[in-house]
Amino acid sequence: MFNGRTALNLDAKGRLTVPTRYRESLNSACGGRVVLTQHPYDACLVMYPFPEWREIARQVAAQSDAHAQVRALKRRFLGQAVEMDMDGNGRLLVPPELRDVVGLEKRAMLVGLLHRFEIWAEDTWNELEQQNLDQEAMPESVQALSF
C-alpha cells in the first residue's frame, strides 16, 4: 500500500503534509483517519491507517502486564497514541509531545513500509542511513531472501 520515502517540512504549527501519492490510499483505507505514536523500538514515530492500528493495538493490549518490559512497551506505544484526521489539504498536526520525544523539528523523512509509515527527524534518518547493514546479524529467514 505505502512504499518509498519522502523528505518533508513541518510548518510553524507542527503540521506535515502527506504527499499526494499517498492521500488517495489513506482516504480509501481509512477515510484519512490515522493513528500516530512513538515507535516501540526506534527513535521515530509510526503512523497507521486506523483499521491497521486497531489490529496491532489489540495484539499489544492483549499481552500480559506481569512483565515490566511489556508495561513499558504499552506506555510507549499505546499510551502515546493519538488519533487524527487528515485535513482537506492532506495535513496532519504532529503533537508537540511526539515531536519532542523523537527530536522532530523542521525537516522530516516519511518512510512507507507497506501497511504503515515511519516519520523520522531528517538528521536521525541520515545517521541511520550511514550505518551499514550487517547481513550476518540478520535472521536466517532474511538472509535466504533473493533481492
| Residue 130's pLDDT band (cuts 50, 70, 90) | confident
pLDDT at 140: 83
Is the pLDDT reported for residue 81 higher than 90? Answer: yes
User: Residue ranges per domain, the chain?
Assistant: 2-143
Classify 2-143 by CATH class. Answer: alpha beta
pLDDT (average), residues 4-30: 94
Distance CA 87, CA 90 (A): 5
Question: What are the DSSP calls for 81-122, one per residue?
Answer: -EEEE--TTSEEE--HHHHHHHT--SEEEEEEEES-EEEEEH
Q: Assess whether pLDDT exceeds 90 at residue 132.
A: no
| CA dist., res. 74 & res. 80, Å (int) | 9
Q: Is the pLDDT of residue 97 over 70?
A: yes
Cell 512507507 belongs to residue: 112
